[in-house]
Amino acid sequence: MKSVRVNYLVREITNKIPLRVFVRAFSDEEICPNLIRGVDYVRYPSLNKGLAFTMEERQVLGIQGLLAGSVQTQEEQLAICKYAVDRYKNPLNKHLYMAELLDTNEKLFYELMASDVEKYLPLVYTPTVGLVCQRFGLVYRRPRGLFVTIHDKGKIQRILRNWPESKVRAIVFTDGERILGLGDLGAYGMGIPVGKLCLYTALAGVPPSQCLPITLDVGTNNQMLLEDPMYIGIRQKRARGAEYDDFIEEFLVACTKQYSQTVLLQFEDFALANATRLLDKYKNCFCTFNDDIQGTASVMVAGMLAACRITKKKLQDNVYLFLGAGSAGVGIANLLCDAMVEEGTSKEEAVKKIYLFDVDGLLSTRRQGGVSTVGGSFTPEILQQMAKNAERPQIYALSNPTVKAECTAQQAYDHTEGRCVYASGSPFPPVKYGGKIYCTGQGNNSYVFPGIAMGAIACHARHVPDSIFLAAAKTLAECVTQKDLDVGRIYPHLNEVRYTDICS
């Protein structure tokens, strides 16, 4: 009877624990829970509950003595984590603590994220992730994704088999050439797909075991990195031309062969020269999208639609000037044009309302650049002139991280007499002007991309149509309440982001 009781308890306990699939490197065979050793329950982040294991669980699973004698609830552990994060003053140290938590207790990490998205999302992703990428050689401790190099051509699918999860449904990959507004960081760009996929789980509920971050290391043209002894990537100039294109195609094909035609493949932080053409080339061949082009566009058009409720004008009644024409700027301009057409204007008239500008003057969408990535480029004189030209000027300082923002929220309100509609790519604290508190909105892609990804995964989509991004923009704009608009916010409160992702 005792043996029967123990077997029953093992089944009961393992059913309660979110068991991640453990896969042998070259096999699809799942390992039976009975083959998991006791120490595995505290070693693997997907199984570990920390001190929340009850005494009965510790005895049955063979982990008694591997944990301290105290038994804590999840809520008690969560309170300790919050206290630990708050003790650190430097955002990088806060990020490193949360990364360590993710590596040890997955469930607790996501509980922490969900408890206060507005507080913890900037530590996991923008703007802190930019600093993480810049110092990736120092903070790199263990692999959280796959590194596939240009030298791996011909054996990419074999490398994919080395990942210990067989049921991958979403892959975020970068070649590291345009990391946020920081430029070419090569293999250091791995922080971006890792952070992005954390948001897939935290905001849309995609199981972590179904997410795979990948860096495609084709070299770097950043001479400082090539000379840096701590650099973890291959030391060569970037591959270009046919060699690069063949590598990308082999990678995409290998992913679909390994994980099915419906695996989601998200391009992330590719330079404009490659981002647009690769998206155009492959969006009808694979289930893929580019968040820098399409996700950013969706979020920004959503903000512009919400701003129309403040200005009492339609999109077509405004003139939009973009500083720079990188992948983000061009993507926003294209979707904005589509939104105007849907309002009822012709495409020819819509195009006349949109201008792109850089240091050399007005430009076409074929020229390279960025959104701007030049901190402080919206000078007081420019802001004051905007206030003269429009009763409610709209100012979008989109560059990341925070130091790259074209202007701060305080500067925008100060130099437009508090009349502007302002949103930024990185978070800014509330602004006081003229006795009123303005809570500015952050045009964060996380409002839409996790939800779009979840939808594509759930319905086993083979393609992600362009129309979905305008639909997501309109839905997000509808989520903005009058209370949000009254305090100057053209996006929902960031703590509502999980709701908006489900809606989108």
Using CB atoms within 10 Å of the CB of residue 4, give its burial: 0 to 12 exposed, 13 to 18 middle, 19+ buried.
exposed
Q: Is the peptide bond before 429 cis (omega within 30 degrees of 0)?
A: no
Strand-strand pairing, 361-362 and 354-358: antiparallel
400 is in an annotated binding site: yes
Query: Of 49, 94, 107, 196, which is the active-site residue?
Result: 196
Using CB atoms within 10 Å of the CB of residue 389, give its burial: 0 to 12 exposed, 13 to 18 middle, 19+ buried.
exposed
292 is in an annotated binding site: yes
The span from the CA of 204 to the CA of 170, in Å, is 12
178 is in an annotated binding site: yes
The span from the CA of 123 to the CA of 30, in Å, is 35
SS3 281: helix
Query: Of 110, 125, 282, 491, which is the active-site residue?
Result: 125
Do residues 353 and 318 make contact, with C-beta atoms less than 8 angstroms apart?
A: yes
- Structure-token pair, residue 137: 């050689």
- Residue reference for tokens 């799942």: 30
- The DSSP-derived string for 159-198 is HHTTSS-S---EEEEE-SSS-TTS---GGGGGHHHHHHHH
Q: Is 314 annotated as catalytic?
A: no
Q: Is 8 annotated as catalytic?
A: no
Helical axes 191-204 vs 117-124, angle rounded to 10°: 160
List the binding residues for a divalent metal cation.
Answer: 268-269, 292
Binding site per annotation, positions: 178, 268-269, 292, 400, 444
Q: Which residues are annotated as a binding site for (S)-malate?
A: 178, 400, 444
Query: Mind telling me the catalytic residues?
Result: 125, 196
